[in-house]
Amino acid sequence: MKHYLIAVATASTLILSGCSSTVQLPDTVKVENIASERNSISVSGQEEVKVTPDIAEIRYSVYTRAETPSECQQKNTTDVNSTLEVLKGLGINENSIQTSAYGLNPIRDWESSNGDVVGYEMTTTLTVSDIPIDQAGTIISQSVSAGINDIDSVSYSASNYDASYQEALKGAMANTRAKADAIAEADDKSVVGIIHAEENGYNPSTRYSVYESAAAGSSMKSSASVEDLSVMPGQVSITAYVQVEYEVE
């Protein structure tokens, strides 16, 4: 393997006039060690690790309709407050509850010539996070009894996500090394080190498996006793992707 030393001079002043010239000495000299011949192999690898979620996040709403804005807001606020009391009673920390959407809009009769206002509708959306997975079903059921009538989504994650992702990264790197060794051996060479390694495709949003849900429906709310839902989170897939360039000789 041959290496050359290349000196790069940067001159601050260079003046040419006719056949004469004035050259000022360079301010800096940069020396680079460049390999003229370096054999390498580039390979990609991935590894998937499955974990069982232990954390849930629920996004749900109270939707109300009424003839006047004040009546609509009052009804909506009553149901939202009832839901908050349920969450408080179940031991949910206030920091885990967020009002993530809020809106009051007129309802118009578009079949009339002027699009007359015939009522008002209001939606307040709550996001409840950091829920122990075994409480998710109870929270959903009791929230519906309190006034929630639109369940937007339920998301699942694992508290050991970071550790599991590191495990997947190690597996992906081992996968690339096995590929590189096989390719090198086929050419009677050996892998001697890593030139460059790059993590690809990491997406923090994959921390959560999101399941969209249909509206809870008025029939659930009107029930005298709502049975706790059985929440089955299954498993979350955590995948790591890497691209590695190995030096061989």
Structure-block tokens of residue 22:
């004035």
Structure-block tokens of residue 239:
């995948």
What pLDDT shows up at residue 227?
57
Q: Which residue is it, tokens 């000299």?
A: 29
Among the residue ranges 17-26, 27-36, 156-165, 191-200, the one predicted with the least confidence is 27-36
pLDDT above 70 (res 223): no
pLDDT above 80 (res 193): yes
What pLDDT shows up at residue 172?
97
What pLDDT shows up at residue 202?
74
In our burial notation (b when 16+ CB lie closer than 10 A, e otherwise), range 224-245 reads eebeeeebebeebebbbbbbbe
Q: Please check whether residue 52 is in contact with residue 158, taking contact to mean a CB–CB distance below 8 angstroms.
A: yes
Structure-block tokens of residue 158:
């694992």
Confidence of residue 62 (pLDDT cuts 50, 70, 90): very high
pLDDT above 70 (res 214): no
Q: Please check whether residue 198 is in contact with residue 112, taking contact to mean a CB–CB distance below 8 angstroms.
A: no
What pLDDT shows up at residue 5?
38
What pLDDT shows up at residue 169?
96
Confidence of residue 111 (pLDDT cuts 50, 70, 90): confident
What pLDDT shows up at residue 130?
93
Q: In terms of residues, how long is the chain? A: 249
Mean pLDDT value across the chain: 81
Average pLDDT value for residue range 102-113 = 91
What pLDDT shows up at residue 75?
96
What pLDDT shows up at residue 38?
73
Three-state SS letters, the chain: CCEEEEEEEECCCEEEECCEEEECCCCEEEEEEEECCCCEEEEEEEEEEEECCCEEEEEEEEEEEECCHHHHHHHHHHHHHHHHHHHHHCCCCHHHEEEEEEEEEEEEECCCCCCEEEEEEEEEEEEEEEEEHHHHHHHHHHHHHHCCCEEEEEEEECCCHHHHHHHHHHHHHHHHHHHHHHHHHHCCCCEEEEEEEEEECCCHHHHCEEEECCCCCHHHHHCCCCCCCCCCCCCEEEEEEEEEEEEEC
Three-state SS letters, 210-235: EEECCCCCHHHHHCCCCCCCCCCCCC
Share of the chain above pLDDT 70, in %: 74
pLDDT above 50 (res 27): no
